[in-house]
Structure formats: structure tokens, C-alpha cells
Amino acid sequence: MSQTSANMNDLKKNIPDELDKHLLNDFQYGFPLEPRPFKKIAERLGTTEDVVIDRLNELQDQGTVSRVGAVFRANSIGASTLAAMSVPEKKIEGVAAMVSDYSEVNHNYLREHHFNLWFVVTASDEQALNVVLDDIEHRSGLPVMYLPMQEDFHIDLGFDLKWT
């Protein structure tokens, strides 16, 4: 238990301890597909199922873990596209907020370029996707550049976190 309270203190400072590091790094792919996956993870990390579940809950609350689950291949289910707009500086707040407001928009970033607003729209099918894109064009009065994925070259094995 004393180990747990030390861990709690580290978490408050958002500094991952050894167990956190393994949880964050070692199970980004190949997550156990068996009835008690967290027990399996606990066995590999030399701890208990309860500790693993508690810790993942904390990491999720903290925001370092987005979720434990699936990353879907783009367009393998539903339809999605990257989209970009060139938004005048003084309109950026309003347009960005309007874009973020769609439940179909899951990423929305300001980037350093003439095309400064970049977002990803995902919907159940192409028709539903187009409705959102049209709506954004219509409401903003600005053209939207659509850049759907044509080929995926990435082998997703997660991201090797380097602790410094």
C-alpha cells in the first residue's frame, strides 16, 4: 500500500512511475484478447489486477491515456477525410469553434501555413460526410479543401515513449 501512495503523489505531478511507464508503453498493441486482460497485464508487470485497473483509470482521468481499445484503419468503417481551410486571422476563433462543435469532427488544429485550420471529419458514410463538409463551407463562407486518404503506408505499432 505504501507503494500505492507514493504512486499517487507522482501522479499528481503527472510524472509517470515505473508501472505507469510500462502501462503506457508496453500495451499499445497486442493487448490481451482473453477474458481477464488486466490480470494478464498484471502478471506480466508483477502486480495485481486491481492495481492495473485503478492505474489505467487514473491515467485516463489525467488525460495521458485517451482510451484502451481500438484504432480503426481510416475509411475501413465509415468515411473520413482530412480537411483544411484558409481562415483570416480575425475569424479564426469563431470558425474553429464552429468546426469543433460538430460531433463528426474529431481533430481540429491550428497550423502554421496559409491553410491554417486542419481538421478530420468522420461519419458513417460518404453522404453523411459530405453533409458536414457542405455545412461547414456554407456557415463559414469559406472553401474547404478535402484531402481523403488514398493509401496508408504506416505500420501502427504505437509510439515508443522515451522517458527523460
Residue 65 CB, shortest distance to another protein, in Å, is 6
Does 160 bind another protein (CB under 8 A)? Our answer is: yes
Q: Please state, in angstroms and rounded to a whole number, the distance separating the CA atoms of residues 148 and 81.
A: 4
The interface with another protein within residues 46-75 (CB under 8 A) comprises: 49, 53, 56-57, 60, 62-75
| CB-side neighbour CA atoms (13 Å) of 50 | 2
Select from 1, 2, 46, 76 the one that contacts another protein (CB under 8 A): 76
- Residue from 11, 81, 87, 132 touching another protein (CB under 8 A): that is 81
Q: How far is the CB of 90 from another protein (least distance, A)?
A: 15
Q: Which of 3, 8, 9, 115 binds another protein (CB under 8 A)?
A: 115
Interaction between residue 135 and another protein (CB under 8 A): no
Q: In the bound complex, what is the minimum distance in angstroms from residue 138's beta carbon to another protein? A: 11
Distances in whole angstroms, Cα of residue 5 to Cα of each of 1, 2, 10, 85, 116: 7, 5, 9, 48, 45
